[in-house]
Structure 1
């Protein structure tokens, strides 16, 4: 068992980039008076909804274990982290656009986009686990982008 330099760089580099992006974003929002009650309400709701997505991902992993598929703890924790933070960001963006836009987003388009993203991630994650090839996760990027653009663009 050797030390993976790329893994260490990705793990801590991603954390550092995330913290810096969060800090600079909050600094810029504070300068533009963007940290108001609406901001806190939107991101609190987004965090609340992202826990539902995380709960769904946990049920998917438990279902895979029940069906006899072996999962490594690092892979499961990584996907759970991605599901939670990714859904938090996407839902926060949807709520921010919907609250600040003059033309609100259509709920049916947003639901379709979220379902497309969730289904794509679930299907390609299961294929990746079954085949032991993580490259199948890259195939989920186009459907995720289609779902994201469908959800975030007004009619």
Structure 2
């Protein structure tokens, strides 16, 4: 029974990986096409940059509490395991990116 489950898991994992990277590729192509059309229609101006900066700041303010909440939920329901360390890595990476961006922007101004 265990060998049968392993044989079934390989195609499912392969299909999942194809879907994951295929979706990533299609998303990047869509983003690139959208940027191309914006540039073509003169949509990439200072106003668009301001809107994008504000949207990123707002999403950042939602991301940090969401990561913290999911970190607590993972710890409560699964204990300290791989999921805990993945959530911790996401939080640490996001905070390092925030610090690096703040230092860069302060040095730039």
TM-score (norm 1): 0.42
Larger radius of gyration: 2
Pick which of 20-29 and 52-61 moved more: 52-61
Structure 1 residues without counterparts, runs of 5 or longer:
81-155
Structure 1 residue ranges (4+ consecutive) displaced by more than 4 angstroms after TM superposition:
none
Instruction: Provide the residue aligned with 1:70 in structure 2.
Output: 78
Which structure has more relative contact order (CA 8 Å, sep 6+)? It is: 1
The equivalent position to 1:22 in structure 2, one of 6, 31, 38, is 31
**Which is helix-richer, 1 or 2?**
2
Q: Which secondary structure does the structure 1 equivalent of 2:17 belong to?
A: helix
Q: CA RMSD in A?
A: 2.4
Instruction: Provide the residue aligned with 2:106 in structure 1.
Output: none
Instruction: Provide the residue aligned with 2:63 in structure 1.
Output: 54
Matched, 1:8 2:17: yes
TM-score (norm 2): 0.58
Question: How many residues align structurally?
Answer: 75
CA gap of 1:6–1:42, structure 2 versus 1, over 3 A, is same
